[in-house]
Structure 1
Amino acid sequence: MNGDVADRPNLSFGQAEEPGTGTPYARYVHLDLLHSLQQPRSKVPAEYSFIISTQVMELLFDLLHHEWTAAQHALREDDLTAALAALRRGTHVQDVLVASWDLLATMTPAEFNGFRSVLGEASGFQSSAFLRLEFLVGNKSGSLLRMYQDSPATHAELTAALHAPSLYDDALALLSRRGVAVPHEPVPARHRPSEEVEQAWFEVYRNPELAEQARLGEALLDTAERVTRWRQRHLAAVKRSMGSKPGTGGSSGLTWLKQAADQDVFPELWTVRNAL
Structure 2
Amino acid sequence: MGNKRDIEPSIERDFSSQMSYGDYLRLDLLLAAQQPQSEPQLHDELLFIVQHQTSELWLKLMVHELRSARSLLAHDELAPALKRLARIKHIQRTLTDQWSVLATLTPSEYAEIRPFLATSSGFQSAQYREVEFLLGNKDADMVKVFDHDPSARDELATLLTEPSLYDEFLAYLARRGYAVPADVLDRDVTLPHTSSTGLIDVFAEVYAAPDAHWGVYETCEELVDVEDNFQQWRFRHLQVVQRVIGHKTGTGGSSGVSFLRRALDLTFFPELYEVRSRIGG
Counterpart check, 1:31 vs 2:34: no
After superposition, give the CA deviation of every residue in 1:137-160 in whole Å (9 maximum; x if it has no partner): 111111111111122221111000
Of the three residues 194, 198, 202, the one matched with 1:200 is 202
Corresponding residue pairs, total: 258
Name the SS of the counterpart of 1:55 in structure 2.
Answer: helix
User: Conserved in 1, the CA contact under 8 Å of 2:96 and 2:236?
Assistant: yes
Which residue matches 1:16?
none
Which residue matches 1:234?
237
**RMSD of equivalent CA atoms:** 1.6
Counterpart check, 1:87 vs 2:85: yes
Of the three residues 47, 50, 53, the one matched with 2:48 is 50
User: Conserved in 2, the CA contact under 8 Å of 1:91 and 1:226?
Assistant: yes
After superposition, give the CA deviation of every residue in 1:178-220 in whole Å (9 maximum; x if it has no partner): 1111121352122222222222211222234212111110111
Name the SS of the counterpart of 2:44 in structure 1.
Answer: helix
Structure 1: which 5+ runs fail to align?
5-19
Of the three residues 249, 264, 281, the one matched with 1:246 is 249
Structure 1 residues 61-76: aligned runs within 5 Å = 61-76=59-74
Change (3 A) 1:236 1:21: farther
Quote how far apart the aligned CAs of 1:261 are: 2.1
264-273 or 216-225, larger mean C-alpha shift: 264-273
Of the three residues 130, 144, 147, the one matched with 2:145 is 147
TM-score relative to the length of structure 2: 0.88
Change (3 A) 1:22 1:257: farther
User: Conserved in 1, the CA contact under 8 Å of 2:99 and 2:237?
Assistant: yes
Which residue matches 1:113?
111
User: For 1:240 and 1:212, how far apart are their aligned partners in 2?
Assistant: 42
Structure 1 residues 132-143: aligned runs within 5 Å = 132-143=130-141
Of the three residues 103, 110, 123, the one matched with 2:101 is 103
User: For 2:67 and 2:198, how far apart are their aligned partners in 1?
Assistant: 26
User: For 2:212 and 2:141, how far apart are their aligned partners in 1?
Assistant: 42
Structure 2: which 5+ runs fail to align?
5-15
Quote how far apart the aligned CAs of 1:264 are: 3.0
Structure 1 runs, 4 residues or longer, greater than 6 Å off: none
User: For 2:43 and 2:19, how far apart are their aligned partners in 1?
Assistant: 30
> How many percent of aligned residue pairs carry the same amino acid?
40
